[in-house]
A and B are shown apart, each in its own frame.
Chain A
Amino acid sequence: MRFFLFISSLLCVGGLSLLSGCSEPPHSTSSTATESQPKPSDYLRLPLDGSISTLDPGMTQFIDAIELAEQLFLGLTDFDPKTYEVLPELATHWESSQQGSVYVFHLRQDVSWTDGSPVTAHDVVWAIRRNLHPDTKAGYANTLYILKNAEPFNKGELKDPEQIGVKALDDYTVEFHLENPAGYFPALAGLWVYRPLPSKVIEEYGDSWTRPERIQTNGSYRLKKWVKGNVLILEKNPDYFEADKVAIKEVHYYIVQESSLGLTLFEAGELDVLGEVYLRVPLADMPRLQVDPYLRRDVRTAPLFCTEIYGFNTTLAPTDNPLVRKAIVAAINKQLLLDFVLKNGHEAATTFTRPPIFGAVDPDKEIGIGFNPKQAQQWLTEAGFPDGKDLPNIVLVHNTSETHHDISNALRTMLKNYVNVNMEVRELDFDSYVDTLYEPKDAHMYRMGWCADYPDANNFLYEGFHPEQGANFVRWKNQRYAELTAKAQQEADPKQREKLYEMAEIILNQEETVILPLYFAAATYLVKPRVKNWYAMAFGGQQIRNWTLDNE
């Protein structure tokens, strides 16, 4: 009986199996690919482009040096990462007097050099005098010219450094005398050339004072190791006054020559951040990055303090006519330019000073001339050129660059499309382009990018377009604008300054329309998810002291 049952079962089950085909066992092909990454490190890994130019904040000129200066040396002031409001750093507070031509900065008394000696007001004074010395040849010395006698001393016209408008009232108080009142001076005071230096070390060792075994620093990080051409390692400075808030213990800067290599290292998990000072993200790779399931979520965009504009030659017909200028500006669809030509994260601009720099206009206020082809046509008609008839060709000049070439051609296309204005585009080598800025001849419009030396509208509006004191490549002579920007420069009350700058922007962009603002620049970064609290400073070095690492 058992045999019957067994044979029956065997035959039937076997037969059924044969007929149906054994169902394959469920195979667990994992659809959850995982990155093959090395074990996460507990230090931050950043690339730097090329060799490090200097660690001396007084000699800082290029972005790599600016980045390291930010980690190693405290400035008198710092900037709020969101609003770029000037904040105390080495200074605890300051006050101005004599209508803003004298500033007294009071310093923290708990800051020391890495050898333990205190950082004092004398170190600040010494540093400024040393940076202004003609033999030092400091690249940013001109940002010190706001101080009394700074420029003549720097140019060798004055010999006595004591004459420079900076002195230590005591160990922790610095007094600045300015050439003229400057409401923006606290912003300048945060720059690298204003930062204190260890005088004894520099006097002893000269240019080689920044060698690892000699350098003295006072910032949130200190130098641990430097293998030139390879890696520079910073470690958290335990004596930094807010050391308990610094979460990342070590920062490794690797010298990586090419952006594409940097991207490869980032993808392999060997770097934590890429972009701008940490090697620009290769544009050609952006389409791939935007669809990669892992990398696309690492993409970040952050503002850069630069505005791309085209200036008008206000002394040459027909761009000497404000109506013609307004018509041209109104006929440009900036968003279209950004979306279809540049295809990146820049923001369309209708004003000049880049928000959120102090004194910049809030874009929601709609100051300036936006895209309005109907209005453009109306203005052109009022100017005596209905439908662009009889309007001479507008000559536009830019320096050689694929991006500027694309932008210029887009402007030409839009002008023809919306207002039937013809434009001739001339691409020049850099020297010829610069010559044109100074002597435009028959050029009606020229490309003018402007980046902040310091985050204050004075750097844009006064230094860019003051009819006498500014670069003024547009050659205009608007007296009201001159008065407003000069007054704002000297005004101590920030609210008043903002109002004055707003009025200046209205004149610049809306009433006289001497420029065509195109966009506020932005930079693309790649940031690993383990870097928490990341943000990018649009100006100066990065505030790594506020970032954290989370390896979970």
Chain B
Amino acid sequence: MSDDADSVDEQEGEDWLGREKPNYKIWGWTALLLLALVGIWGTLTLTNGATPYYIAVSGPMTGTYASDGKAMEQAIQLHLDEINQQGGIDGHPVELLVYDDENKPELAAQNAEKIAKHTDALAVIGHYTSSASLAAAPIYKAAGLPAITGTATTDSLTQDNDWYFRVTFNNSDQATLMANYIYKVMNKSNATLISTDTVFGSSLADNFVRTAKSIGLDIKHHWTFQQKDSESFDDALDHLLKYYGDSEDDSVLFIATHSAQAASTIVGLRRLGKSISAVGADSLASTSFRNRLAEFPQERARPGYYTNGVLATMPFLPDIAGQQAQNFYHSFLEAYHEAPSSAASMYYDATQTVVKALQGVSSGSPSEQRKQVQSALWQMADIKSSVDGISGSIYFDRHGDAIKSIPIGIFKNGKPVAAQEQFQPIADLSSVPNLLQEALDNQIIYVNGKFMRRAQVVYVGLDFNQITELSAMTSRYSADFYLWFRFQQDYKDKVLEFINSAEPLKLRMEQVLAHTSSIEEGVMTRTYRVKTPFKVDFDFSDYPLDKQNLQIKFRHKNLTRDHLIFVVDTLGMNLDEGDSNALLSKFERNKVFYVGGWQLNRISFFQSSSKTDSTLGIPELFGAEQRIEYSQFNAELEISRNVLSFILKNLLPVIFVVMLGYFVFYIPIAGPGFAVRMTLSINMILSTSLFHIRMASTMPEIDYLMLIEYIFYMVYLLAVFNMLVSVFKQLKMAGDDNDKLWGERVNQFGMVFYPLFITITLLTLYFLND
């Protein structure tokens, strides 16, 4: 038996060296408590413990038009998920209530009753069709529930109803525009039309006929049919085809029908083998239209077999849309593994609009909150208060209709692309010296209160040859690429301003090709080669996990957007919407991206607007700025650092230092142990700061913290912590047994705290960075 200090027998609570064993219970509870607190803190931060906001959607979730309903729901949910990931609206998560109306008015009305009276929905998104929306509209009005549609186009929906809003154009606008387009752009003085008897078809037809009469477009024939009677449609179509088949008339056909009948009409027309131009409304933009055409093997085998050359108003055109649209496209593709349709884009915008209206809603009863949402929507009355939608700025006129341009698409190879001429709203009428003369010259038209100018569309294509010399220090990179412009009328393509050119005065465009198309009349292509450095707007806040964008941006120097629009030449660049990796593969194959330490994630091309709001010193505009807008072409390469290689080359020593720092807690304090611990801790600071300074020397001067600096500061804090624990223990060693026990416990605490602090810090940085 032994009872002295040299005994090697273990006592309870002591290890074989006689030191107090670590109290694993302390470790365990400490860890659990920390994790619980982090969890609670995270949840509270994200949701603030607030009640959810409800938004309802009603659309054709089943039935013939289920694909459209699915597009609605997917787009809405996508945006709500984005919002919820960011913490909701003012801390309130947003939930979607989904209702199926199959596009049937009676079901739409039933859903409206349910939503209005039996839910706390603060807004309704939908309905899909005009007839369904009209059935629901009086119910929303009576209940004081704001509703917003992305696809219902009948004018009467928003007139005399302060509770219904629309983010797309209405029938009178699109019919007026197409009548003008036929007469003034296509230079046709005669037209025919086929229309259905639904609200959609009849309002389109009425407005088309009225406009035609007022501008001098002669309507030769008007065939009508009853939507519910398929024989009626067959009959009308037979008459139409007989008319065109038997005569030499080449009047343009305006199609004021829903998608299914539009598809049948176009197919029948094409089978005549004659060159008859067909023009339609937004029903040709729907998924249902393309699905219907896909039933024909000729269209499947050769996309565009029936539809090539058909023009239609399109709520959304990807090649004319901006960066937000590109981001939406990629997010949608990632979430649902299919490209978004036009309807999906519009409902995404509708959701953005509702979300903005929900911001700042104060607590109260649902009816009070609904009124606030309505009021907020009415506040979106001009550009400044608009929502930046993917289809353009969204704000409303006195009826609740969005004031925006109406893209005109032309089908090519089965897909709609921007037509060669568009009509763009004129922001500042005072900039037009002779409005009437321009109208007489067919350059400006009037569409229900909006003056619109005929804008030339120039298709822009860009093929990179090489990207090199990326420098963080000088914030620039070099690009070598081919740039082409395809256009129909005369276009001064060298009057460009490359916005982020690093050497604008030295920039030269060397023409390599000028080609006149033999397929498309009057279409010319000019191609240039450009080799020049560009500026990069680096953002190092996430360094070394940062992503950067290498951009090429240019606009026309003189022509504003109502004169000229740049459009991405998706066909010319073979940009297949279903395969975003094709371009990346091409870059890899051709070794285009030649910058070490970086990888290329994404390549995108999009059109945007370069905007300025100004009075330009015009007294009449004082107090009401006008928007000056240029169409801007953008090519963007998203790159990210090769993190593993960065860590291995730059951070590994720091990792070793941190690991070594942990061993401080295992060094006995007695004897030289204290000095060793302190030295190790100081070395943590010194070696880390060396890497810190070295890294800073390779960066340009920035006034914000980078992600990696948080790591460095964490290391500094750990080193200081180590020193504090060591000093505390050292001091306690001089005391009595109780003091020594405290010293030991603090040391044990350090053993737990050190790795946990690292873990929590890294996790926090990761989630905040995500």
Q: Using CB atoms, name the residue of chain B closest to A25.
A: B48
**1/0 contact string of A274-298 vs chain B (CB within 8 Å):** 0000000000000110111110110
CB contacts (< 8 Å) of A372 on chain B: these are 216
- Pairwise interchain contact B440-A414, C-beta atoms closer than 8 A: yes
Interface string of A302-337 (1 = CB under 8 A from B): 000000000000000000000000000000010111
Bound CA–CA A293/B398 (angstroms)? 8
Cβ contact within 8 Å between A8 and B436: no
Interface: B382 (CB within 8 A)? yes
Interface residues of A in 32-63 (CB under 8 A from B): 32-34
The CA of A333 and the CA of B436, in the complex, are separated in Å by: 11
Q: Is the CB of B37 within 8 A of A20?
A: no
- Within the complex, the shortest CB–CB distance from B387 to chain A, in Å, comes to 11
Which of B90, B356, B376 meets A28, CB within 8 Å?
B90
Tell me the chain B residues, 728-766 only, with Cβ under 8 Å from chain A. 745, 749, 752-753, 756-757, 760-761, 764-765
Is A4 a contact partner of B745 (Cβ separation < 8 A)?
yes
Decide if B491 is an interface residue (CB 8 Å cutoff).
no
With A5-B29, A23-B45, A340-B446 given, is the CB distance from A417 to B440 under 8 Å?
A: yes
B436 contact set on A, CB distance < 8 A: 336-337, 340-341, 410, 413-414
Whether B41 is near chain A, meaning CB under 8 Å from some CB there, is: yes
Instruction: Say yes or no: is B698 at the interface (Cβ < 8 Å to chain A).
Output: no
Contact of A30 among B362, B382, B385, B753 (CB under 8 A): B362
Nearest A residue to B397 by beta-carbon distance?
A: A296
Q: A8-B33, A9-B37, A370-B213 are in contact. Are A1 and B26 (CB under 8 A)?
A: yes
Complex Cα gap A13–B760 (Å)? 10
Residues of A close to B752: CB separation below 8 A: 8
Residues of B within 8 A of A341 (CB): 435-436
Are B446 and A5 within 8 A (Cβ)? Answer: no
Q: Which residues of A contact B375 (CB under 8 A)?
A: 32-34
Q: Is B354 an interface residue (CB 8 A)?
A: no
Contact of A19 among B215, B437, B451, B761 (CB under 8 A): B761
The answer to whether residues A340 and B439 also contact, given A30-B362, A31-B360 and a CB cut-off of 8 A, is yes
Can you pick out 18 interface pairs between chain A and chain B where the beta carbons lie within 8 Å of each other?
Answer: A4-B749, A12-B38, A12-B757, A12-B760, A17-B41, A19-B761, A20-B764, A30-B360, A33-B375, A288-B623, A291-B382, A293-B380, A293-B385, A333-B215, A336-B439, A336-B440, A340-B446, A341-B435
Question: B29 near A290 (CB under 8 angstroms)?
Answer: no
Out of A16, A25, A31, A287, which one reaches B359, CB within 8 Å?
A: A31
A299 at the interface (CB under 8 A from B): yes
Chain A residue at minimal CB-CB distance from B437? A413
- For the complex with contacts A8-B753, A16-B764, A28-B362, 20 further pairs of A-B residues with Cβ separation under 8 Å are A4-B30, A4-B749, A8-B34, A8-B752, A15-B757, A16-B38, A16-B761, A19-B765, A30-B360, A32-B360, A32-B372, A33-B375, A34-B375, A287-B624, A288-B624, A291-B381, A291-B382, A296-B381, A333-B216, A417-B440
Encode B631-669 as 1/0 by CB contact (under 8 A) with A: 000000000000000000000000000000000000000
The answer to whether residues A371 and B749 also contact, given A4-B26, A12-B757, A32-B360 and a CB cut-off of 8 A, is no
Residue pair A292, B760 in contact (C-beta under 8 Å): no
Q: Taking the complex as formed, is A169 at the interface, i.e. its CB lies under 8 A from any CB of chain B? A: no
User: Counting CB contacts under 8 A, is B91 at the interface?
Assistant: yes
**Residue contact A293 to B757, C-beta cutoff 8 Å:** no
List which A393-421 residues lie within 8 A (CB) of chain B. 410, 413-414, 417
| Complex alpha-carbon distance, A26 and B47, angstroms | 10
User: Chain B interface mostly helix, strand, loop or mixed?
Assistant: helix
Residues of A within 8 A of B756 (CB): 12
Within 8 A of A (CB), among B264-313: none
User: Which residues of A lie under 8 Å from residue B397 when comparing CB positions?
Assistant: 296
Indicate whether A16 sits within 8 Å of B41 (C-beta atoms), given known contacts A32-B372, A292-B381, A371-B214. Answer: yes
A333 to B37, CA, bound (A): 75
A336 to B184, CA, bound (A): 14
Are A29 and B624 interface neighbours, CB within 8 A? no
Is B540 located at the chain interface by the 8 A CB criterion?
A: no
Complex interface: chain B residues within 8 A of A340 (CB): 435-436, 439, 444, 446, 451
Q: Is the CB of A26 within 8 A of B768?
A: no
Within 8 Å by CB of A293, from B50, B216, B379, B435, lies B379
Chain B neighbourhood of A362, CB < 8 A:
none
Question: Which residues of B16-70 have CB atoms within 8 Å of chain A's CB atoms?
Answer: 26, 29-30, 33-34, 37-38, 41, 45, 48, 50
Give the complex CA separation of A292 and B216 in angstroms. Answer: 35
> Smallest distance from the beta carbon of B92 to chain A beta carbons, Å?
8
Known contacts being A8-B753, A32-B372, is A335 close to B214, with CB within 8 Å? yes
Cβ distance B376 to chain A, nearest Cβ, rounded Å: 5
Return B22 CB to nearest CB of chain A, in Å. Answer: 12
Q: Does A434 contact B (CB under 8 A)?
A: no
Minimum distance in angstroms from A336 CB to a CB of chain B: 6
